[in-house]
Amino acid sequence: MELHYLSNRCICVVGGTGTGKTTFINYFIEWIAKKREKDDKIGSVATTFNQYILSGQLFNFIMGKMDKKHSIQYGPKNPFGKIIYFIDDLNMAFADHYGTQSAIELLKQIVDYRNT
């Protein structure tokens, strides 16, 4: 987990119900924040998908923690150097009448374009 974090990679934890995925990630976020607090301040925010989440709500959640740094560049709000986003229950988004899940597609686009 730490190697993925240090190389700015997204992490997806998969497992059955009750295996402690959320607890493990919350512990990791606390641990990495304590370990790295001298180097740069790390912020973390968490949300849980539900069946009614839309891509606009996810976009507002992500961009709500960002500031415009340059003309087209965004970064974490001060005083943070990095932000860790924790999104729980990815499988909960409702499929629209086209069979797509807009919030998951937005998340996939963010990851694909390396906007992490």
The structural domains of the chain, with segments of one domain joined by +, span 2-112
3-class secondary-structure state, position 9? coil
SS3 content of the chain, % helix, strand, coil (to 5): 40, 15, 45
**Verdict on whether the full-model pTM lies above 0.85:** no
Q: What is the mean pLDDT of residues 69-83?
A: 79
Lowest mean pLDDT among 33-42, 63-72, 79-88: 33-42
Whose tokens are 């990095």? That residue is: 82
- Read off the amino acid at residue 7: S
CATH 3.40.50.300 fits 2-112, yes or no: yes
pLDDT over 80 at 30, yes or no: yes
Q: What is the mean pLDDT of residues 40-45?
A: 79
Long-range residue pairs from 75-82, CB within 8 A, at least 24 positions apart, any chain: 76/43, 77/43, 79/41, 80/40, 80/41, 80/42, 80/43, 81/39, 81/40, 81/41, 81/42, 82/40, 82/41, 82/42, 82/43
Lowest mean pLDDT among 17-26, 40-49, 58-67: 40-49
pLDDT confidence bin for 116, thresholds 50/70/90: very low
